């Protein structure tokens, strides 16, 4: 029988369509499975918390409960149920309690029939008395099954991957955690991008920013690689409330305060900064200059020269920093390092003056403001919600204009 050779162009087209269909189906299936697992982890955490709240005598056995669950679940289901992972499930429910989930999906969860408490069902549970409590007590398992919730409906409350929620558990401030969750979903951040935004204290920076809309729009841009730029590595603004500075202070007092609170300042700078020195001297002709602070950034692989200014940024500050960087490049930069970066840390700056003073320099010079306190968090949350609505309205308006033009 003669083989029928299909038209090459036609075959390539249908093959591409089928491949795209299968890849989309697999991605959708992966997202669905991930959401269902996240919902199940939330339900596991809820059951643990409900059990612990069943009485004071149970609360003291919390660690023993987690250890026993870990052993039994690992024996039954394999990896993924270490004591640390189960503790994260417990924390997951505590950070996203039932009332918060119901606010997210009131219609869906109305049909989930989440019981108010599982204390009665778990009263007779021998989970701490017998190694086979998880799998051996059929009557207890059936009792729990009758009280189980609608996982597919609950899964809709958790659009982010489980690893993203694990990362968010480390954010202790509830408003900040809610902000990162909202932005991760709105911007489509990967877990790596979410981690980078949390590490850079994006919430604190946008709280102090005068142009929140620009920062929210910038956060929508996804990055293809992990290679960071100096702009991404250095925050703006910095929060230096730990210094407890008075209303009036000098640059030397600011520097002294930063040195005395060096550990806090390093935390504010970020994980990749290493302190090199202060008041590093350099001589040009017959004049001596001093660089306030000198750091090394491990990921950028370069020196970071910091100049402290208690007043507003001036274009003359850019020229001075440019001179410092030229000297550091020639005398302090070691083989294998990248050219040094300058940071002018000031109390205020004009965006236009900073732009025109720093644009086109052969050295990378950045400016950042410092603040000594964060604004009211409730007002911040309202302002962020209003800014998001304005951005969405602009986006819808541009889409409408485009359709009208067609």
**Higher model confidence: residue 325 or residue 250?**
325
Taking the chain, what is the end-to-end CA distance rounded to the nearest angstrom? 53
pLDDT tens-digit series, residues 261-310: 666 677 667 767 888 888 888 888 888 888 888 888 888 889 999 888 87
Q: Are 296 and 302 in contact (CB under 8 A)?
A: yes
pLDDT for 136 = 43
Question: Tokens for 389?
Answer: 């609505």
Beta bridge partner(s), residue 348: 312
In the chain, what are the domain boundaries? 8-155, 163-220+376-406, 233-371
Question: Tokens for 401?
Answer: 């204009």
Distance (Å, rounded) from C-alpha 270 to C-alpha 203? 14
Contacts of 285 (CB under 8 A, 6+ apart): none
CA-angle at 54, arms to 53 and 56, nearest 5° = 75
Per-residue b or e along 163-177, where b marks 16 or more CB atoms closer than 10 Å to that residue's CB: ebbbbbeebeeeebb
pLDDT tens-digit series, residues 27-51: 667 667 778 888 888 988 988 888 8
Per-residue b or e along 115-126, where b marks 16 or more CB atoms closer than 10 Å to that residue's CB: beebeebbeebe
With a cut of 90, say whether residue 260 has pLDDT above it.
no
pLDDT tens-digit series, residues 78-111: 777 888 989 999 999 999 988 777 766 545 444 4
Given the candidates 1.20.1250.20, 3.40.1350.10, 1.10.620.20, 2.40.128.30, the CATH classification of the domain at 233-371 is 3.40.1350.10
**Higher model confidence: residue 205 or residue 296?**
296
pLDDT tens-digit series, residues 327-376: 999 999 989 899 999 988 887 777 778 778 888 788 888 887 776 566 66
Distance (Å, rounded) from C-alpha 405 to C-alpha 179? 36
């Amino acid at each position: 029988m003669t083989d029928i050779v299909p038209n090459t162009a036609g075959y390539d087209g249908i093959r591409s369509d089928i491949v795209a269909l299968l890849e989309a189906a697999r991605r959708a299936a992966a997202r669905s499975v991930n959401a269902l697992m996240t919902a199940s982890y939330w339900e596991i955490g809820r059951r643990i918390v409900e059990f612990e709240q069943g009485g004071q005598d149970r609360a003291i056995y919390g660690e023993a409960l987690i250890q026993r669950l870990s052993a039994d679940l690992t024996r039954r289901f394999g990896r993924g149920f270490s004591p640390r992972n189960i503790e994260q499930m417990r924390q997951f429910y505590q950070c996203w309690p039932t009332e918060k989930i119901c606010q997210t999906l009131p219609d869906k969860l109305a049909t989930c029939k989440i019981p108010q408490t599982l204390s009665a069902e778990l009263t007779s549970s021998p989970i701490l008395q017998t190694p086979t409590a998880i799998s051996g007590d059929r009557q207890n398992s059936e009792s729990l099954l009758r009280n189980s919730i609608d996982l597919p409906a609950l899964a809709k409350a958790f659009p982010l991957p489980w690893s993203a929620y694990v990362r968010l558990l480390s954010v202790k401030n509830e408003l900040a955690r809610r902000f990162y969750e909202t932005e991760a979903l709105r911007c489509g951040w990967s877990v790596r991008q979410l981690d980078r935004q949390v590490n850079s204290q994006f919430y604190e920076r946008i709280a102090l920013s005068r142009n929140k809309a620009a920062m929210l729009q910038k956060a929508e841009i996804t990055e293809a690689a992990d290679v960071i730029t100096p702009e991404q590595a250095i925050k703006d603004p910095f929060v230096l409330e730990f210094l407890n500075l008075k209303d009036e202070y000098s640059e030397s007092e600011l520097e002294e305060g930063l040195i005395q609170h060096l550990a806090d300042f390093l935390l504010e700078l970020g994980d990749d900064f290493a302190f090199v020195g202060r008041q590093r001297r350099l001589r040009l002709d017959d004049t001596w200059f001093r660089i306030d602070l000198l750091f090394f950034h491990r990921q950028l692989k370069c020196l970071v020269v910091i100049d402290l200014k208690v007043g507003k940024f001036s274009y003359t500050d850019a020229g001075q920093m440019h001179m410092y960087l030229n000297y550091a490049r020639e005398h302090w930069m070691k083989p294998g390092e990248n050219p040094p970066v300058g940071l002018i840390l000031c109390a205020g700056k004009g965006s236009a003056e900073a732009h025109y003073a720093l644009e086109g320099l052969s050295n990378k010079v950045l400016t950042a403001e410092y603040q000594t306190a964060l604004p009211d968090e409730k007002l911040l949350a309202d302002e962020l919600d209003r800014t998001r609505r304005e951005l969405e309205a602009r986006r819808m308006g541009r889409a409408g204009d485009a359709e009208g033009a067609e």
